[in-house]
Structure 1
Amino acid sequence: MILQPACFSLSAISIALLSCSFAVFAEQIAQSKDVEDIEVIEVYAQKRLQRIQDVSVAVTSISGQALAEQQIKDTTELSAFTPNLKISQNAAEGTPPAVNIRGVGLIDYNTSNTSPIAFYVDDVVVGSANNQIVNLFDMEQVEVLRGPQGTLFGRNTTGGAILLRSARPEQEFGGFFNVSVGNNSSSKFEGALNIPLTDATAMRFSASHHDYEYTTNNIYPASPEAGLKQSNYRLLLSSQYDDLSVLFKAHLEDWSGIVQPVGSIGIFKNPATQELCSPSEAGSSSCFDVFGFNKGNDNFFDVMVNNDSPHDTEGQGASLNLDWQFSETTSLVSVSSFDDLERDHAFNCDGSPARLCEGNLGLDNQVFTQELRLHHQFGDHYFIAGLFYLDERIKQDNYNDILRELRGITPRALTFIYDNQIDITSAAMFAQLDYALSDLTTVTAGLRYTDETTDYQSVSHINVGVDPNDYVGLTLPYYTVSGEVDDNQLSGKVAINHKIDDNSTVYYSFANGFKSGGYNGGFLSTPEQATLADYGSETLNAHEVGVKFALLNQNLSVNVAGFYYDYKDQQVFMNQESTIPGAPPLQLLENVGNSTIYGSEVEVFYTPTNDLYLQFGLGYIPEANFDEFIDPTGKVLTDNRLPFTSEWNVSGLANYQVPMFGNQLVFELNFDYQSEFYFDQNESDYAMQAGYTLWNGFIRYEATDWDVSLWGKNLLDEHYSHLKFDLSSFLGMLEDFKGEGRRYGVQFQYHF
């Protein structure tokens, strides 16, 4: 059964009462204020442009200007803008990012799986998690939607959706370019050129090129300097006729370089006796891996690893958006797209100069999508219905070379070669009605039917060596596994949105999200593991209550939301110790049963004077735990906290402008705090990230057509990690994928 609410906990009820209290407060103050001169924030959260107060969805809107000012390079840096959103580069830049909204996410670095958080780039869903690293340049807006999405969006998701909207062509010649240089040999060029072609057609061409080295410092002299060169290009053609709007987009990406080197967190004081270091000591110069290695110093950003590990990405694609306006009240929208991503990403997983764990993630990912939507407005009511189709093909060319330097000494020294093909087809019908009960109250009802099939074939070989000097070895067939996962599901949404006044609303929604099952085509070290690597679908019942109000005479806007999730058969990536002593850990994607998540969010936007702007965000998730789960080895994980989920997330910024020589001098300081969280399901204190705060800012001098700025990111050089991958039972260490250290630079920008 769908649309069957779970009971609210006491905490969730308290959140609802808090939201209602805010609503009453907003109504009392709004009635005493003149609210004519409102600055309206508009979003596309419901597939049409609406005021943010009119949507019964928790949504954060981020302007393209804010992204550019804060030097946001790609989607992995969006966390600071949105409560209860966490994104990181996961297992180094170039692997699928780890995305988490309100405790729902996927931290799998393998290239075969789809995140429960969907990304839409210019109305096109990107497919699997491989495609979720998107460079953000020449953007109009980014929106983060929290909670299940499906009755309006092409592909159903349980956790939320992130909408990326490029700057559109305009009927006026113009553009911009900026150049930036900074520490760690970083340089950047971005630009856009907007050209009207006819009275009805305009073109916008944008480009971005980044060249940089990582702040992780590899002190192993034989390894090349790690860094990437990323070039991205985008062309948009827009035509507007009497009853037809056409938007064509083509894009191209070309990345190459050496991947970020991984660090080693040794856990043994004495490898011979396997006496353990404490979690606070692990990774220091007094702790070693099982082979007696550490890097020899306590500098956080220093590593010592044979990191001759190339990365290469080639991506291209095109989309066509057609909007037929049949009448003033009815339109038909068609969105067609095709994207191709080819990627090779080498890695070193022992974090040392030895050749004990190395490999490559090879990928050819093709995605075709087609969506049709009918929009109809009748009176104050609005109806959307649509069809969606996706065809995605993932071809993997992977290998993992284990204990190469011990070939001929131990039978565990093998190269695993796994070439998987995963074909996904998804078809759906969806509809949503916004029905105005009165001028103040609107009821929303939506329904979706999804049918999704995953066909897979996993073919593996192993390469063995017969003596220590045999580096060619003998390649033998290992296993071939094929199968199909077929899921279909009804899901839906009901909501009520009540206007307190023109600028303040309170809402309640219940949404039922669904994500299909699939096949975990990661590192599968045994035929049995490969046979059991498919996983089932997950569902999420999400209750949400919130209030959005604007006290515009004081230029104050506040959004408050409380949520309660009943998560069923949740798909969780698991790093599980092998039952064979000294063997590599198992990498599983398991349905862990049920989880309970609840929490709240507050966003405040305040402009006390014309020269000062303040922003504050607070996310709080006191409960995000497995209800009851025992892993395949019998380990009890009941009540363990979900991976990658902080209890507290606090962010804010202050932007202040002062006149200088007839122009403006702008100061901005912003921060993002994440409280402690675990990187896997085991709640190991070794695989835990302590709370940290990132401070960023800039000083910019603005003239009419140009500006120059001094910018900095991670100003206090905070130490934190994107991922600590636990290999302690295998190599006596954890891989440490370090977050970026302090970066700073100067930028010049010219508009024409």
Structure 2
Amino acid sequence: MEMTKSLAFNFIFSSVIVGIYSPESLGSDDRIETIEIYAQKRAQTIDEVSIAVSHVTGQEITIRGVKDATELGHFVANMKISQNAAEGTPPAVNIRGVGLIDYNTANTSPVAMYIDGASVGSANNQLVDLFDIEQIEVLKGPQGTLFGRNSTGGAILIRSARPDAGSYGYITGGVGTDDWQKLQGMYNHAVDEESAIRLAFSHTKYEYTSYNLFEPSPEAGLEQNNARLSYLGEWDSVSVYLKAHYSHWNGIVQPVGSIGIYSDPVNQVKCSASLASQGKCVDSFGFNDGSDDFWAVSVNNDSPHNSIGKGWTAEVDWQVTDTAQLVWVNAFSRLDREHAFNCDGSPAKLCEGNMGLKAELLNNELRYQVQLDEDYLTTGLFLLEERLYQDNNNDLGRDLRGTPFGANSAKFYYDNDIKSKVTALFAQYEWQWLPSTRVTAGLRYSDESVEYDSVSNINVVVDQTMTEGVLLPFYHVVGKNDDDGFSGKVAINYQLAANKMLYYSFANGNKSGGYNGGYLSSPEQAKEADYGPESLNAHELGAKVTLPDVNLKLNGAIFYYDYQDQQVFMNQPATAPGAPPIQLLENVAASTIYGAELDLEYDISNTMVIKVGVGYIPHAEFENYTDPLGVTLSDKRLPFTSEININAQLSYEYTIGHSVLTSSLGVDYQSEYYFDQNQSEYAMQSGYALWHFNTLYRYEDWQANLWAKNLFDQEYSHLKFDLSQFLGMLEDFKGEGRRIGVDFTYRF
């Protein structure tokens, strides 16, 4: 029996930051290793595929102190992942300018995520703790054939470490700044010659690097507990992989800051954007947190978070013949989440609420794969059903009730029942046309439907002497959105010589329509809240070159995207002064994106390695579009899209007797970008660089790892949500400040 083997360490050739070499690999004679990936749903080397792929190993994730999927953007050029509305809510994933910034729990990202071969569905399930991971692949550009559903911008493939031969394990304990505490472990046990089980767990508890000056609020922090039990059995022609997972997160959500825009709120005199970003201005009510410390806020933040996730994955692989296999993947997950929030960023109660969610997802895939001499065929059927129950409320202007300023105060209750169903057929053929030329063609047909039942009630004050208000029906909307169509890919690989390959690909991706189940401020808006599908046609020309004589590897690509009917979340000011903003999810007419990437890995010596990645997107703009409120967005840059992204890392290994010391220093630089479609100077992030460092000491079965993230305490924000026309401020979701930790690991 050949068990699935744990990856001791792999080099990252096509990612920007590829981490740290393991002591076993640095200094070896064979320094340019082969990376095995699953970008085409079978094991291949990274240089075989006509896809720009970034590869991250589990060891890199561990020694860099990475906690969850929101930190993967630091490894990959032209990729950004934001904690969109504080930690615990759906992340905003953006690859090459393609992403969705909407924070509400009803939507699906245009960047798909798969864990152990199974789709995670809506963006709710893309917030994943990373522990005992084998590897992660980031596929850039539309994946409209093999991964099809809602992968306009790309796909993230997470592969857990699988059981293998032997009985062994490890235990890791760690501490760090801001009360960082970590306990992780794994035990792998071979049941017999054909099967093994693996148990892994992770416990993390911490406070946020931003802190709250408002003393009545509880200390903010999160505790995350995760466990995974897996089984792998391999017999003559059949293998079975089974996995069950459980997670429980609870705590107090990260407190938000307030960026006031007024120097004189009474006379509506605005500050400059530069002065506002320094925290020198006030909101419409004259509030300023009173501190010059960027990481300090003052906010009523009695806002609990509690979520429980659980589910299973099963994969059965039948080797029908020596060259053909039939694969069935079945997965189910359920997520129950309650997430409270404060959106006025002050001690007052002017904007508070809760996002309640129950999400259930079932997906199945049946896939037939066959080697035909030098050709390869992959074909299959994909089925997915997802149901989202939302129980949301947003309390606006609570402290203004019973005052002359309370006309717009109201508490909105909006509950949605959203059902999604997907059926897809797909096929991809890889044809070895000539000894040096390989042609890949793929096609997918998808039939998708979204049914929604949206009910809202509103609590308003009809008598100013009765501030508790009365509950009135607001709207009830029922509807269905159906989409079907084709997507696919054509690519040509040309082998110039050994280790030198050029490729061209044309890929098409579609993302289905749906219903915007977020905060809707009027019945009319609720009736028009469904949106249509989007599509993206992508041209890409790339090269993958390895020069083993000089220990150099280069991967590069240039790309051009024609984006049609792009789904864009819009946060627009209301027409009435002081009223809550209008939040839309609309299909814009078109967008155009083009740019380039270059990744370099160079082994300077047996003990020193440098890796550099550059992403460049000079053009990423809406083309000729005016939104439903009459605001022109033509020639506006797409949100969360830096023009320049540079990642670099230098790693060095030093041997001391029977022990090894490995150190690395790296940086992730992002040029400026905007947080929404309005290209407002107030809702903009200036360019910044996040430095990281680690040094690892290993002796026999013991290991100590000192790590630091945001080493120089760079000030930056995950999101600045514009409420300037409503409260005279922007809601500021702080990034993560400097965090330093040390982990101790014992292997047995």
TM-score, normalised to structure 1's length? Answer: 0.94
Aligned counterpart, 1:180: 174
Distance 1:285 1:156, change over 3 A: closer
Residue in structure 2 matching 1:117, options 111, 114, 121 = 111
Contact 1:154 1:388 in 2 (8 A): no
Which blocks of at least 5 consecutive residues in structure 2 are unaligned? 1-28
CA distance in 2, matches of 1:178, 1:352: 39
What is the one-letter code of the residue matched to 1:521?
Answer: G
**Partner of 1:745 in structure 2?**
741
- Give the AA of the match of 1:375: Q
Residue in structure 2 matching 1:346, options 340, 348, 361: 340
Inter-partner Cα distance in structure 2 for 1:419 and 1:386: 36
Q: CA RMSD in A?
A: 1.2
Give yes or no for the alignment of 1:479 onto 2:480. no
> Corresponding residue for 1:311?
305
Match of 2:229 in 1: 235
Give the distance between the partners of 2:75 and 2:679, measured in 1 at CA: 27
**Structure 2 counterparts to residues 576-655 of structure 1, below 5 A:** 576-655=572-651
Question: Closer, same or farther in 2 for the Cα pair 1:37/1:458, shift >3 Å?
Answer: closer
Segment of structure 1 superposing worse, 580-589 or 535-544: 580-589
Q: What's the CA shift for 1:38?
A: 4.9
| More moved, 282-291 vs 616-625 | 282-291
Question: How far, CA to CA, are the matches of 2:49 and 2:256 in structure 1?
Answer: 43
> 1:130-157 CA deviation, whole Å, 9 max, x = no partner?
0001111111000000000021126241
Q: What's the CA shift string for 1:63-98, capped at 9, x where partnerless?
A: 111111111111100112111000011110011101
Which among 670, 690, 703 is matched to residue 707 of structure 1?
703
SS in 2 for 1:280: helix
From 718, 726, 729, the counterpart of 2:714: 718
Task: State the match for 1:505 in structure 2.
Answer: 501
Say if 1:284 and 1:297, in contact at 8 Å, map to a contact too. no
Conserved 8 A contact 2:674-2:680: yes
In 2, are the aligned partners of 1:393 and 1:421 still within 8 Å (CA)? yes
Matches of 2:430 and 2:417, distance apart in 1 = 42
Report the CA distance between 1:501 and its aligned residue: 2.4
Secondary structure (helix, strand or coil) at the match of 1:281 reads: helix
Q: 1:730 aligns with which of 726, 733, 741?
A: 726
Instruction: State the match for 2:8 in structure 1.
Output: none
CA contact (8 A) 1:155 1:388 kept: no
| SS at 1:66 equivalent | helix
Q: Residue in 2 aligned with 1:441?
A: 437
Structure 1, 57-66 or 603-612: larger mean CA deviation: 603-612
Q: Deviations over 1:648-681 (max 9, x none)?
A: 0000111101112431111111110011000000
- Separation of aligned partners in 1, 2:189 and 2:465: 63
Q: Is the CA contact (8 Å cut-off) linking 1:187 and 1:212 kept in structure 2?
A: yes
Equivalent in the alignment of 2:132? 138
The separation in 2 between residues aligned to 1:319 and 1:500, in whole angstroms, is 41
The residue correspondences of 1:265-276 to structure 2 (distance < 5 A) are: 265-276=259-270
CA contact (8 A) 1:210 1:230 kept: yes
TM alignment of 1:677-688, pairs within 5 A: 677-688=673-684
SS in structure 2 of the partner of residue 609 of structure 1: coil
- Alpha-carbon offset, residue 245 of structure 1: 0.7
1:46 to 40, 43, 50: 40
Q: In the TM superposition, what is the alpha-carbon distance from 1:199 to its structure 2 partner?
A: 1.3
Matched, 1:107 2:101: yes
Separation of aligned partners in 2, 1:38 and 1:635: 53
Distance 1:201 1:549 in 2: 39
Is the aligned partner of 1:250 residue 2:247? no
Deviations 1:203-226 (A, max 9, x none): 011000100000111000100010
- Report the AA paired with residue 670 of structure 2: Q
Deviation (angstroms), 1:107 = 0.8
- Alpha-carbon shift at residue 36 of structure 1 (Å): 8.9
Shift of 1:162: 0.4
Q: Partner residue of 1:407?
A: 401
The match for 1:3 is none
- Within 1, Cα distance between the matches of 2:449 and 2:69? 28
Partners of 1:465 and 1:474 within 8 A in 2? yes
2:349 is matched with which residue: 343, 355, 367? 355
Distance 1:371 1:44 in 2: 16
Report how far residue 632 of structure 1 moved: 1.1
Q: Which residue of 1 aligns with 2:15?
A: none
Deviation at 1:286, TM superposition (A): 3.6
Aligned partner of residue 130 in structure 1, secondary structure: helix
The answer to whether the 8 Å contact 1:631/1:637 transfers is yes
| TM-score (normalizing by structure 2) | 0.95
8 Å CA contact retained: 2:566, 2:588: yes
Deviation at 1:285, TM superposition (A): 5.3
Matched AA of 1:670: G
Provide the C-alpha distance between the structure 2 equivalents of 1:212 and 1:291, rounded to a whole number of angstroms: 33
Of 538-547 and 171-180, more deviation after overlay is shown by 171-180
Does the aligned pair in 2 maintain the 1:407–1:466 contact within 8 Å? no
In structure 2, the residue matched to 1:10 is: none
Q: Pick from 145, 160, 164 the counterpart of residue 158 of structure 2.
A: 164
Question: Bigger CA drift: 403-412 or 631-640?
Answer: 403-412
Q: What is the aligned length?
A: 718
CA contact (8 A) 2:368 2:379 kept: yes
Residue identity matched to 1:334? W
Q: Indicate whether 1:76 and 2:70 are aligned.
A: yes
Measure, in 2, the Cα distance between the counterparts of 1:161 and 1:347: 30
